Structure 1
Amino acid sequence: MSSSQRVPAGGGVPPDIEDIERALTRIAHLFGRHRQHNRQASEAGVPIDRAAVPLLRLLAEAPDPMRPSELAARLGVEAPHVTRQVQRLEKAGYVERVPDPDDRRAQWVRLREPGYEAVEAIRAVGRRWMFEALAEWSPAERQRLATLFHRMVDDFVAHSDYLDEAATAHKAGGRAAS
C-alpha cells in the first residue's frame, strides 16, 4: 500500500469504501444467519451445526489431513472450539482422527467420505440459491463479479499478511529495545 493511500488517523475514508463495507456486512450477516444455515442444511439433508461447516469446508479443500491446532489457526478460533467440533463431527461419521506418523502424541483430522458428501451437498444448495438470486444477471456480469471478488479477497489476504508482518516486526523491535 502506498503512503498516499493510507487512511488518515482521524478516518476520512472515501464514500465508496463505506458502501463496500456496508455491502460486505450485509452479505456476512445474510450468510451467517442461523435461519439461513438451518434452511440450507435441511435442504441439503445434512444435519450439521452451523459452526462445523467452515471446518468441514477447510478439510475438504486441504490436500492432506490437518492437526487440530492448524485447523484452529486457519479458522481463527480457539483450539478447544475445534476440538469440540471434531468430536461432534467424528461421532456423526464426517471426520476421523488418525495418528501423526511423525509424532505419536499428536493427531491429524481428515474428512471421511460422508464428510465430503456433506460439504458438496451444502455447496450445491448454496450454488443453486445463488444462481436463483442472480437469475437476472447476465453470465458476463456474474463473471465480472466473480473476478472482482477474487481480486478483493486476494488483496485482503495480502493486506492481512502485511499487517501480520508489521505486528511481528513491531513486537521484535520492542523486545530488542528492552
Structure 2
Amino acid sequence: MVPNDDDPLAAVLPHLTQLSNALNRGTLFERTVAAAGITLERPALAVLGVLRMADQPLRIGEIATRMQVAGPHATRQVQGLEQRGLVHRVADPHDQRARLIALTPEGTATADRYMRTLLSWFTAAMADWPTRDREELGRLLGRMVEDVTAHLASAEAPEGP
C-alpha cells in the first residue's frame, strides 16, 4: 500500500521515526543512567520499568510480552537482576507451582530514580509547552499506543477455522 499524502497520519510517521531514533540511539539513555547513578544495561532497566509500572509481581512471560521480546531474553535479564538483588521470585497466589517476579526495595528505588531523572529531562525539554498541550499529548499518545498495540495483537492472533 502506497502512503496517501493527504492522510494526516502520513506527516506523523516521519516524526515518530525521528523520535524513536532519538530515544533509542542511546544518548538519552546514557545521559539518564549516568545522571541517576545507575549501572544497568537498557534491557535490564526495561525489566525494572515494566515491573514498576505494573506495580505488582509478574510472570516472566508477561514481562516478555510487555517488553515485546522473546521469553528467553526476559529470563536472562531477570536472572541478572536477581543476582544484583533488584528482583526476587515470589509464589503466585493463584498457582503455588508458579513464580512471579517482584521488585526488591532496591529495585524499586532504582526504577524510581531512573524514571524521575528521565521525567525531569522531558520536563526540561518541553518547559515552554503549556500544561494543556502536555496533557493533550499524553492523552493522544496513550490512545495511540493502546490502539496500535491492540491492532498488532489482533494481527498476530491465529485465525480461526
| TM-score category (smaller protein) | 0.7 to 0.9
Match for residue 5 of structure 2 among 11, 14, 19: 14
- Mapping of residues 1-178 of structure 1, within 5 Å: 10-14=1-5, 16-100=8-92, 102-104=95-97, 106-164=98-156, 167-169=157-159, 172-173=160-161
Q: Which moved more, 1:153-162 or 1:142-151?
A: 153-162
The structure number with the bigger radius of gyration is 1
Q: Which moved more, 1:144-153 or 1:116-125?
A: 144-153
Give me the TM-score of the superposition, normalised by structure 1.
0.79
Task: Specify the code of the residue in structure 2 equivalent to 1:14.
Answer: D
Gaps of 5+ in 1: 1-9, 174-178
Distance change (3 Å), C-alpha of 1:158 and 1:45: same
Task: Specify the code of the residue in structure 2 equivalent to 1:168.
Answer: P
- Count of aligned positions: 159
Distance change (3 Å), C-alpha of 1:156 and 1:54: same
Q: What is the DSSP-based 3-state SS (H/G/I as helix, E as strand, rest coil) of the residue aligned with 1:46?
A: coil
Q: What is the DSSP-based 3-state SS (H/G/I as helix, E as strand, rest coil) of the residue aligned with 1:58?
A: helix
Residues 86, 107 of structure 2: 8 Å contact kept: yes
Q: What is the DSSP-based 3-state SS (H/G/I as helix, E as strand, rest coil) of the residue aligned with 2:128?
A: coil
Q: Measure, in 2, the Cα distance between the counterparts of 1:143 and 1:69.
A: 32
Give me the TM-score of the superposition, normalised by structure 2.
0.86
Alignment root-mean-square deviation, CA: 2.0
Gaps of 5+ in 2: none
